[in-house]
Amino acid sequence: MSAGKMNLRPFERRLLVGVLVVLLLVVNFVFIWPHFGDWAKTQDRLNKAFPMLYRRGAPGYQLIYDDAGWRLFERTDATLAQEASAVSRTDQGSMGGHHAYSDY
C-alpha cells in the first residue's frame, strides 16, 4: 500500500520516509558494511593461490591493456589455432567421416 493511498498528512509522510531511511541504514550497517573487507580477502586468497596470474596472465594469453590496476588479456593466435585444429580433429573423429547432411 502506498503512502498516497494511506491518506497520510504531510508530516506523517515525512515521518514515514524518515523511519524507512533509518531502517535502511540499520539494515546496511548490520548486513552490508561488515562484508566490505570480504572482496579484499578473496583477492588476497586468489593472489596467494596464483601469484603470477595477475602479472603474466594465463598460459596462451597476452596482455593487451593495462591501466590503473585493470588488465585485459587476449588469447594468442597460436592457442586459437591449436584449439581449432583439435576441434576439427574431434569433429572428424566423432562423425566417422560422414557429414550430418550426407543423406540429403
Per-residue pLDDT of 79-95, as tens digits, reads: 666 766 766 665 555 55
Per-residue pLDDT of 23-78, as tens digits, reads: 999 999 998 888 887 877 887 787 788 888 877 888 888 888 888 878 888 888 77
Give all strands (DSSP E) within the chain, no chain letters.
61-67, 70-75
User: Which residues contact residue 64 at a Cβ distance below 8 angstroms, ignoring those fewer than 6 apart?
Assistant: 72, 73, 74
Q: What span, in angstroms and rounded, lies between the C-alpha atoms of 3 and 70?
A: 45
Q: What span, in angstroms and rounded, lies between the C-alpha atoms of 79 and 64?
A: 16
How much is the pTM?
0.38
